[in-house]
Amino acid sequence: MELERFKTYARIDHADEDALITAMLTAADSAVRDMTGKAPPKAGDELFDMAVLQLAAHWYENRTPVTDTAVNEVPFTLQVLLNHIALSSRYPEKEAADEPDQ
Protein backbone atom coordinates (compact mmCIF):
# COMPACT_ATOMS: atom_id res chain seq x y z
CA MET A 1 0.00 0.00 0.00
CA GLU A 2 1.40 3.35 -0.98
CA LEU A 3 1.65 6.07 1.65
CA GLU A 4 0.30 8.73 -0.72
CA ARG A 5 -2.77 6.63 -1.52
CA PHE A 6 -3.59 6.38 2.19
CA LYS A 7 -2.99 10.09 2.74
CA THR A 8 -5.41 10.90 -0.09
CA TYR A 9 -7.97 8.44 1.32
CA ALA A 10 -7.64 9.83 4.86
CA ARG A 11 -7.39 13.46 3.68
CA ILE A 12 -4.00 14.02 5.30
CA ASP A 13 -1.99 16.86 3.79
CA HIS A 14 1.15 16.88 5.95
CA ALA A 15 4.20 14.67 6.34
CA ASP A 16 4.46 14.92 10.13
CA GLU A 17 3.29 11.35 10.75
CA ASP A 18 4.51 9.52 7.64
CA ALA A 19 6.54 6.99 9.65
CA LEU A 20 3.55 6.23 11.91
CA ILE A 21 1.20 5.92 8.93
CA THR A 22 3.61 3.61 7.10
CA ALA A 23 3.80 1.38 10.19
CA MET A 24 -0.01 1.37 10.45
CA LEU A 25 -0.35 0.38 6.78
CA THR A 26 2.08 -2.51 7.22
CA ALA A 27 0.28 -3.64 10.37
CA ALA A 28 -3.16 -3.28 8.73
CA ASP A 29 -2.05 -5.40 5.77
CA SER A 30 -0.83 -8.11 8.17
CA ALA A 31 -4.01 -7.86 10.24
CA VAL A 32 -6.30 -8.24 7.21
CA ARG A 33 -4.33 -11.35 6.17
CA ASP A 34 -4.50 -12.74 9.72
CA MET A 35 -8.18 -11.91 10.29
CA THR A 36 -9.27 -13.45 7.00
CA GLY A 37 -6.68 -16.19 6.57
CA LYS A 38 -6.36 -14.99 2.97
CA ALA A 39 -3.91 -13.12 0.77
CA PRO A 40 -4.70 -10.83 -2.16
CA PRO A 41 -4.89 -12.76 -5.45
CA LYS A 42 -2.69 -10.15 -7.11
CA ALA A 43 -0.95 -6.90 -6.27
CA GLY A 44 -3.35 -3.98 -6.34
CA ASP A 45 -6.52 -5.96 -5.57
CA GLU A 46 -8.93 -3.10 -4.88
CA LEU A 47 -11.17 -4.95 -2.41
CA PHE A 48 -8.22 -6.15 -0.33
CA ASP A 49 -6.60 -2.72 -0.53
CA MET A 50 -9.84 -1.06 0.61
CA ALA A 51 -9.91 -3.29 3.70
CA VAL A 52 -6.31 -2.27 4.48
CA LEU A 53 -7.12 1.41 3.91
CA GLN A 54 -10.20 1.31 6.12
CA LEU A 55 -8.48 -0.56 8.95
CA ALA A 56 -5.45 1.76 8.90
CA ALA A 57 -7.74 4.82 8.80
CA HIS A 58 -9.74 3.46 11.74
CA TRP A 59 -6.56 2.99 13.74
CA TYR A 60 -5.26 6.43 12.72
CA GLU A 61 -8.48 8.16 13.77
CA ASN A 62 -8.82 6.20 17.04
CA ARG A 63 -5.34 6.31 18.55
CA THR A 64 -6.41 7.01 22.11
CA PRO A 65 -6.43 4.13 24.57
CA VAL A 66 -9.74 2.36 24.91
CA THR A 67 -11.34 2.85 28.32
CA ASP A 68 -14.61 1.85 29.96
CA THR A 69 -16.26 4.91 28.42
CA ALA A 70 -14.79 4.87 24.90
CA VAL A 71 -15.12 1.81 22.70
CA ASN A 72 -14.21 2.20 19.04
CA GLU A 73 -15.39 -0.92 17.26
CA VAL A 74 -14.32 -1.83 13.76
CA PRO A 75 -16.70 -0.08 11.34
CA PHE A 76 -19.45 -2.21 9.80
CA THR A 77 -18.22 -1.58 6.25
CA LEU A 78 -14.78 -2.93 7.17
CA GLN A 79 -16.33 -6.00 8.79
CA VAL A 80 -18.27 -6.66 5.57
CA LEU A 81 -15.04 -6.47 3.54
CA LEU A 82 -13.22 -8.79 5.95
CA ASN A 83 -16.05 -11.32 5.87
CA HIS A 84 -16.19 -11.24 2.07
CA ILE A 85 -12.44 -11.76 1.72
CA ALA A 86 -12.48 -14.59 4.28
CA LEU A 87 -15.33 -16.43 2.51
CA SER A 88 -14.43 -15.74 -1.13
CA SER A 89 -12.72 -18.43 -3.16
CA ARG A 90 -11.15 -15.66 -5.26
CA TYR A 91 -8.65 -15.06 -2.46
CA PRO A 92 -5.96 -17.71 -1.92
CA GLU A 93 -5.30 -19.08 1.54
CA LYS A 94 -2.56 -17.25 3.39
CA GLU A 95 0.60 -19.29 2.99
CA ALA A 96 2.29 -20.64 6.10
CA ALA A 97 5.53 -19.23 4.67
CA ASP A 98 4.09 -15.72 5.05
CA GLU A 99 3.94 -16.09 8.82
CA PRO A 100 6.91 -14.93 10.89
CA ASP A 101 8.91 -17.45 12.92
CA GLN A 102 7.68 -17.74 16.47
Q: Tell me the three state secondary structure of residue 39.
A: coil
User: CB of 25 within 8 A of CB of 1?
Assistant: yes
Residue 39 lies in a domain: yes
Instruction: Tell me the pLDDT tens digit for each residue of 44-71.
Output: 899 999 999 999 999 999 887 665 655 5
Query: Strand, helix or coil at 48?
Result: helix
Closest C-alpha to 38, from 96, 99, 92:
92
Residue 100 resides in a domain: no
Number of domains in the chain: 1
Look up the pTM and report it: 0.82
User: Which residues have CB under 8 Å from 53's CB, separation 6+?
Assistant: 1, 5, 6, 9, 28
Q: Contact, 69 vs 90, CB < 8 A?
A: no
Residue 68 placed within a domain: no
Beta-strand (E) ranges in the chain?
none
Say if 99 falls within a structural domain: no
| pLDDT on residue 51 | 97
In a domain, 50, yes or no: yes
Give the domain range for residue 81: 3-63+73-93
